[in-house]
Chain A
């Protein structure tokens, strides 16, 4: 069975500081990993994905994520947080075994403090 863990329910960071939202996963074989963002009263929006290749993935709105196979992690990062980054962030994994058994984490609320 595949699983995703987002160990922090909430992350607070000051505007302008770097941010990290953590994600670890468990899946058979090579993982397909995704980050999505959800703003209040909205659906989820895709940020970035790791399929294969470079361990550092760049995505929308200045976000990036680092894939670490040995630590089975896929942490979301941004060098300088904006107040408008405040939202709910979800990590998701899809592994072997056909489409599209996708497992999401429980979400991390990011609060950027002015």
Chain B
């Protein structure tokens, strides 16, 4: 089954403790993105990747890092999480800007 898999689905952590949210897709898509969803703000793009080793900032990249060492994986790294990064995070993949994105199930992160 074609899918985008994020882990973990739920995470509660403390301020400053580094964490990684994993994202993997099995569709051989070139393009992958990370979004955060906040009430009243919709989805905002954090980072995106056009291919292996090619990444770029979205609208809200501060406090986040990404890497794309393999085509299927696109982890999101929070090196020093802060409470304002409490949010619902989505990973997505697609074959290009003209094509629809496939979204993961989401990761609900709480930073206390």
Per-position 1/0 for A14-56, Cβ under 8 A of B: 0000000000000000001010100001111110010100000
> A90 touching B97 by the CB < 8 A rule?
no
Within the assembled complex, what's the spacing in Å between the Cα atoms of A6 and B94? Answer: 24
Q: Looking across the interface, which residue of chain B has its beta carbon closest to that of A51?
A: B98
A62-114 interface with B by 8 A CB criterion: 90, 92, 94, 98-107
Within the assembled complex, what's the spacing in Å between the Cα atoms of A6 and B42? Answer: 10
> A32 touching B48 by the CB < 8 A rule?
no
Q: When A and B form their complex, what is the total count of cross-chain residue pairs whose Cβ atoms lie within 8 Å?
A: 70
> A102 touching B105 by the CB < 8 A rule?
no
**Which of A32, A45, A49, A100 is the one whose CB lies under 8 Å from B33?**
A100
> B96 touching A100 by the CB < 8 A rule?
yes
Within the assembled complex, what's the spacing in Å between the Cα atoms of A43 and B34? Answer: 12
> A44 touching B90 by the CB < 8 A rule?
yes
Per-position 1/0 for B74-107, Cβ under 8 A of A: 0000000000000000101010111111111110
Which of B40, B43, B58, B92 neighbours the largest number of chain A CB atoms within 10 Å of its CB? Answer: B43
- Does B50 lie at the interface of the complex (its beta carbon under 8 Å from any beta carbon of A)? yes
Chain B residues, Cβ within 8 Å of A92: 43
Within the assembled complex, what's the spacing in Å between the Cα atoms of A90 and B45? Answer: 14
Within the assembled complex, what's the spacing in Å between the Cα atoms of A34 and B97? Answer: 11
> A44 touching B58 by the CB < 8 A rule?
no
**Which of B40, B58, B100, B104 is the one whose CB lies under 8 Å from A49?**
B100
> B48 touching A100 by the CB < 8 A rule?
yes
Q: How far is the CB of A91 from chain B (nearest CB, A)?
A: 9
Which of A6, A45, A99, A103 neighbours the largest number of chain B CB atoms within 10 Å of its CB? Answer: A99
Binding site for B on A (CB under 8 A): 6, 32, 34, 36, 41-46, 49, 51, 90, 92, 94, 98-107
Binding site for A on B (CB under 8 A): 4, 31, 33, 35, 40-45, 48, 50, 58-59, 90, 92, 94, 96-106
Task: Give the 3 A-B residue pairs with the shortest CB-CB distance, closest first.
Answer: A43-B103, A46-B100, A106-B42
